A and B are shown apart, each in its own frame.
Chain A
Amino acid sequence: MLPNFNYVRPATLSDAVRQLTPNARVHAGGTDLLGCLRDGVFTADTLVSLSAIEELRGIRPALDGGVAIGAMTTLTTVASDSRIAERYPALSRGVTAAASPQLRNQGTIGGNICQRPRCWYYRGEFQCARKGGEKCYAAEGENQFHCVFGGEVCFYVHPSDAAPALVALEAMVRIVGPSGARSVAADAFFVLPSKDYTRETVLGPGEIVTGIVLPAQPRGTYGTYRKVRARGAWDFALAGAAVVATIAEGRVGRVRIVLSGVAPIPWRVPEAERVLVGQRLSAKSAAKAAAAAVEGAEPLAQNAYKVDMLRGAVEEALLELA
């Protein structure tokens, strides 16, 4: 049951930033926030709803042929936008693979990349390190759904299906805060636990994600997102891969491979990308790249399966572009 909080619905972005006092939380779609409050994952004195700030909604053309998505745009709106579907299929597929239809109708793209970890210890009645406790329960516990890359001190996996595509597309995240606006590259937006295990993003106090900017893609750029899950809907990735590749005369030019479900942040695998540059996309090169993608994986006691599954997911994503 939800604990008490104040509610404020500012009409302007500048007012929203002002309202974001230390123990206030941003309410975007609310799907993740309300669950966390209900489960006592964290508390909030005040919820600052962004729902009345119209400028945060919608998809517009951006400079240089890119596309800008307001942070409060729902996942459904992103998924059903023809420009996104045609030019950024990796993102379109990512948001379509998220959660359930109702949650996509409510959840926003800004909220999606600011989700708190879905680790069942973090969400449950466990005073884990990320909540100020002594230890990471996943390290020695039920870690079948935890990470194989980048854990070190906290082993959750990043829950977003959109974020890997955003990183692969070299998107920029727009942020507004008390000291003004800034933009951060998507792959610099997420924070590894080894750097700071108390937060998942670079957002500072009083900062709000206002939007995403997708840069124009060169001709011949293709993309996809392959997600493996335990259940057909309403399930986070066990392993997945967003791939964006520019192919000219049958050969891979630029390529970005970003993994989901295996690390606390969207996990880019440059080694696998290097394997492909200059190559034709074939069963052989895809298998080679997939093998490179899992190099360095460090499974926990119960998630060694992720290495094989991930290899399969990367391979299939690449073959889809072939």
Chain B
Amino acid sequence: MRPPELYFIDGALPETPAPDDRPEPWTETRVVGSRRTRIDGFDRVSGAAVYPSDVLLPGMLYAAVLRCPHPQARVKKVDTSAAAKMPGVRAVITGATPAADLRWYYSRTVFTKLFDPACRFESEAVAAVAADTPQLAWDAVRAINVEYEVLPFVVDERAALAAGAPPVHDGGNRVAEPEKYSRGDVAKGFAEANTVLEASYRTATEIHCPTEPHGCVARWDGPRLTIWESTQGVYPVQQRVATSLEMPLANVRVIGSYMGGGFGSKLQADKYNLIAAALAKLTARPVKLFLTREETFLCVGNRPAANMKLKAGVRKDGTLTALELTVLGTGGAYPAGGTSLVDWLVRDLYTCPNVRTESTDVYTNAGPARAFRAPGHPQGAWALEQMMDALAEAIGIDPVDLRLKNISTVSQAREGQPPYTTTGLERCLTEGAKAFGWHEARKRPKGNGPVRRGVGMAAGLWIAGSGGPPSTVVVKLFADGSANLNMGASDIGTGTKTVMAMVVSEELGVPLEKIQIENADTGTTQYATASGGSKTVPTEAPAVRDAALKVKRQLLEIAAEELKAPVNELQIDGEAVVSRRDPKVRKKISELDGVRRRGLVLGVGTRGPNPEKKAVDPFVAQFCEVEVNERTGEVKVLRFLSANDSGRVMNRLTYDGQVIGGVTMGLGLALTEQRVLDRQTGKMVNRNWHDYKVPTAMDVPPEIASLPIEVPDNEANISGAKGLGEPVTIPTAAAVANAVYDATGVRVTESPISPMRLVALLAGKRAGR
């Protein structure tokens, strides 16, 4: 097998051309910022929206994958003879099948075979089947006999570096040398502190659990492969599939359209894409391959556990003097950023001259991690924000005041400590506290009986909320005044399409119902990076505005000619072009002959570069009130408020949706979610939604208040928006932990704060342990 040509992107992304000139920021807006229902809402609630898992094609087969049941094993023999003979079975592929003799890249340098004899985590792919029905495919999978050499394993990252720990890879279990960061002198900082606290924290491994499982439908038309994929980004999938199949990018078309949630786990291609493609090729039939729910718990990513030890020093007046953090984590069996960004908040959230962090990433025999909504940040917040709470108590000041005391206007951890374009953190804290009734709530009695009330708060920022190039979009204004927007980005449920239509409407006056959007298709739509990291709106909205402005400029030029008025005197008013000087000089867009003759007016927009030597981060502060039953350890979240500085609010309705969604996901981290791997066998025991507990309607407060701190960031980009989806989930779990402490006096440093854990801690407290 010769190495294929690699399509990997290293370093910074290339920049698309900057807009010719930077338009003025919006001052008053008609559409942007209002509450608008989704432009694709009808499709989503009527059932008309076709998700990839809904796709049915003539002659379509169904595939299933045989996966290794052991956390570490070597495949010695695969006997598919019985399976291949079963009725309805059209193809069985293994590592010995030439068409499946493909490479799978975990990174530029780390790769395995598609079906590799070395299985380093439970659920590594071993063989696959295509059959007439999914039932028959699974019958055939069950009929394949595999002989494994079962090997010793390590699944607990805390044991991975111990002497004698079974090696996941030949070189041992360190992914790399520990990542170190340092500024100032922490020893000096601790010496200057009046109070120094130190504590260990841990967050459990979380699974993404999008409701639509990961999967695709693959179909060949001669040399061309089309993949309907449930994905956050069609282009990254295209690149990876083309690389592994050694195909021209042009011959791989990935269609995203609707998708049922990803949260970071669907930013990339997966082995199943190649499996589906290989089976479709061999059978000359379309193949549908969606993972079972159980498989999605094992092999398509997770937010890995973080083990954190944090030492912090503070002066009596609340000035932080030093922070020192060590992190141990794992990305599973392959390099996957097991400790990525866990230390970022410690490095950057609060003013502190002396900071040191050290992160150790180890291999374990578990499914590789993937980006998960604000990678690293909720884990770091769990430690830092509980520590801030403890420091505030130790020096006797309000937790909000301690944070206000340490707000930074520069990003201390970035090269050259660039200033933030905007920071609304102070307003998030003060206005959030006011809206929540923080000070009053703090003073209220906790209750004498077994049911205690408490309040807690926490804050955060998100490292990557700026978005950035490259992005290209096309806006077409038709002769009747309706418009079409063509962009490559997926709408992962955040309302991207609606926000972009609002931008078009803002600039061109086209009503939302006359705007159609084509998106997420490498064959027909423009280049976009994957939708994730809260960067979609700040990436795409400026490009869309740029495109709309280019249409507008042409439109006004056409109108100027027909109205015999100077261009700079004209503006768009509703669906007409009107003179600013004389409102009688007007013509409806649909009546402009120049547009009719051309058929349409086309604008190609691009995302300009981010400002130089500036940092663009969104900020957040959250407040909550809980009730704890000290007899049983049950925690009920009574109310929750999230104050967010994410720049301009683009659509208040979907903005609030992001806020309640991020908080709800954070409540899962706080209270219920944890992957459990069996210590005896290394196998995951809770690979379903009964045993792995994502929050239900009963686990959220009746209302989650969203308080936008709207500081349009006109320096960041020409939409003024910063990211929102990640910051809303960052401080949530820590805020709950702080509220539980306020209610009970028990600090829960390990997530989740389950009744099991809390009732034991409360009993320990009563017993004076």
Contact = CB atoms under 8 A, between A and B. Distances in A.
Interface of A: 1-4, 118, 120-121, 124-126, 137, 140-142, 144, 228-236, 238-239, 303-305, 308-309, 311-313, 315-316
A4 B139 CA distance: 9
A140 B632 CA distance: 25
Nearest to A290: B631
Contacts of B235: none
Contacts of A137: 678, 680-681
A30 to B, nearest CB: 16
Contacts of B691: 120
B695 interface: yes
A2 B757 CA distance: 36
B188 interface: no
Interface of B: 64, 69, 134-135, 137-139, 142, 292, 450, 629, 631-634, 672, 676, 678-681, 683, 685-687, 689-691, 693, 695-699, 754-757, 759-760, 762-763
Contacts of B450: 312
A305 B757 contact: yes
Nearest to A135: B680
A125 B69 contact: yes
8 contacts: A4-B135, A141-B680, A144-B756, A231-B696, A235-B690, A238-B755, A308-B763, A311-B631
Contact of B632 (A4, A228, A231): A228
Contacts of B763: 305, 308
B698 A231 contact: yes
Contacts of A312: 450, 629, 631-633, 759
Contact of B697 (A4, A233, A303, A313): A233
Contacts of B633: 228, 305, 308-309, 312
Given A125-B69, A238-B756, A312-B759, A142 B695 contact: no
B693 A231 contact: yes
Nearest to B142: A3
Nearest to B687: A124
B759 A1 contact: no
Which one of B629, B686, B691, B754 has the highest number of Cβ atoms from chain A below 10 Å of its Cβ? B691
A309 B755 CA distance: 8
4 nearest CB pairs, A to B: A232-B698, A312-B631, A1-B138, A305-B760
A137 B699 CA distance: 31
A234 B135 contact: no
A228 B699 contact: no
A230 B754 contact: yes
Contact of A142 (B679, B690, B755): B679
Nearest to B761: A305
Nearest to B698: A232
State the majority secondary structure of interface residues on A: loop
A120 B693 contact: no
Contacts of A125: 69, 683
A138 to B, nearest CB: 10
B103 to A, nearest CB: 29
Contacts of A230: 672, 693, 754-756
Contacts of A235: 690, 693
Contact of B699 (A232, A303, A311): A232
Contacts of A238: 755-756
Contacts, number: 107
Which one of A141, A231, A236, A315 has the highest number of Cβ atoms from chain B below 10 Å of its Cβ? A231
Contacts of A239: 632
A315 B756 contact: no
B768 to A, nearest CB: 15
A316 B759 CA distance: 15
A236 B685 CA distance: 16
A233 B696 contact: yes
B311 to A, nearest CB: 30
A309 to B, nearest CB: 5
B34 to A, nearest CB: 34
A228 B137 CA distance: 41
A310 B715 CA distance: 58
Which one of A228, A229, A311, A316 has the highest number of Cβ atoms from chain B below 10 Å of its Cβ? A228
Contacts of B69: 125
Contact of A308 (B139, B672, B679, B760): B760
A290 B423 CA distance: 54
B266 to A, nearest CB: 23
A316 B631 contact: yes
Given A232-B696, A238-B756, A304-B760, A121 B632 contact: no
B685 A120 contact: yes
Given A120-B691, A230-B755, A316 B632 contact: yes
B632 A142 contact: no
Which one of A2, A118, A120, A303 has the highest number of Cβ atoms from chain B below 10 Å of its Cβ? A120
Nearest to B679: A141
A167 B676 CA distance: 33
A306 to B, nearest CB: 8
Contacts of B757: 305
A309 B759 contact: yes
A300 to B, nearest CB: 13
Given A126-B678, A308-B760, 10 more contacts: A126-B683, A140-B680, A229-B755, A230-B672, A231-B695, A233-B696, A238-B755, A305-B756, A305-B763, A312-B633
A137 B631 CA distance: 30
Nearest to B630: A312
Contacts of A236: 690
Given A141-B678, A142-B676, A1 B134 contact: yes
B698 A233 contact: yes
Contacts of A305: 633, 755-757, 759-760, 763
Which one of B681, B754, B759 has the highest number of Cβ atoms from chain A below 10 Å of its Cβ? B759
A133 to B, nearest CB: 12
A14 to B, nearest CB: 33
Given A3-B142, A120-B686, A312-B629, A228 B292 contact: no
Given A125-B69, A316-B631, A142 B756 contact: no
A234 B690 contact: yes
Contacts of B755: 228-230, 238, 305, 309
A315 B450 CA distance: 11
A126 B632 contact: no
Nearest to A137: B680
A308 B761 CA distance: 10
Which one of A121, A309, A313 has the highest number of Cβ atoms from chain B below 10 Å of its Cβ? A309
Contacts of B683: 124-126
A247 to B, nearest CB: 22
B135 to A, nearest CB: 6
A142 B134 CA distance: 32
A231 B609 CA distance: 46
A141 B685 CA distance: 10
B158 to A, nearest CB: 16
B202 to A, nearest CB: 16
Contacts of A229: 755
A237 to B, nearest CB: 11
A239 to B, nearest CB: 8
Contacts of A308: 633, 759-760, 762-763
A231 B691 CA distance: 10
A236 to B, nearest CB: 8
Nearest to A125: B69
A199 B756 CA distance: 28
A208 B450 CA distance: 45
A319 B505 CA distance: 61
Contacts of A4: 135, 139
A80 B593 CA distance: 68
A315 B631 contact: yes
Contacts of B631: 309, 311-313, 315-316
A96 to B, nearest CB: 12
Given A125-B69, A228-B632, A2 B135 contact: yes
B754 A121 contact: no
A263 to B, nearest CB: 17
B756 A234 contact: no
Contacts of B64: 1
